[in-house]
Amino acid sequence: MAVPVKIENIVSAITLGIRIDLRKFVDKVRGVEYNPENFPGVVYRVHEPKVSMLIFSSGKVICTGARGEEDIDAAVDQLKVKLGEGGVRVKGAPVIEIQNIVASSSVDVKVNLDQLAIECFNTEYEPEQFPGLVYRLEQPKTVMLIFRSGKMIITGAKNTEDIRVAAEKTRDMIHEYKAIIE
């Protein structure tokens, strides 16, 4: 049985394949932020889908806030329009590489985190510092934050299939170690 997962954030790196004179760009467009004394890139916030993009003079862009790959594609289309307003022409298709996906999930049972911390490898649990147990999976390479309520945060994945597999492996591990609170 599948464990339901909800994508909360996708961080992607976008390569435009061009260099950008950020000072000239921001002089020609509205709706971007540029303060080179504090940060070397331009901040462009897209309202629909709600994402933020950090644009660097190297032609690299970091996109965060997407909830699906279609959000990234839509944001890149808007970015190309905004760049065009600033006189910047993108030649060819931008290269998009997902760096990190963060998702939430639940195993729908209360979890004995103390038991998991003692019996399961690749875990860290210091309830005085943080209320969740950190569980590092090697395959797929992800990090799970597991809470007593059964809720989980999944991070480190580079595709949605890894998110699903990590959630299911974690659920199975909780059942295998009988770490369920009745």
The domains found in the chain, sorted by start residue, are 5-99 (3.30.310.10), 107-181 (3.30.310.10)
H/E segment holding residue 83? helix 69-85
For residue 2, the 8-state DSSP code is P
pLDDT band, residue 91 (cuts 50/70/90): confident
In angstroms, rounded to a whole number, what is the distance separating the alpha carbons of residues 131 and 129? 7
Q: Is the pLDDT score of 37 beyond 80?
A: yes
Q: Which of 5-9, 111-115, 178-182 has the lowest mean pLDDT?
A: 178-182
In angstroms, rounded to a whole number, what is the distance separating the alpha carbons of residues 40 and 34? 8
Q: Is the pLDDT score of 112 beyond 80?
A: yes
Q: Is the pLDDT score of 162 beyond 80?
A: yes
In angstroms, rounded to a whole number, what is the distance separating the alpha carbons of residues 104 and 10? 12
Q: Is the pLDDT score of 82 beyond 80?
A: yes
Question: What number is the average pLDDT over the span 56-61?
Answer: 98
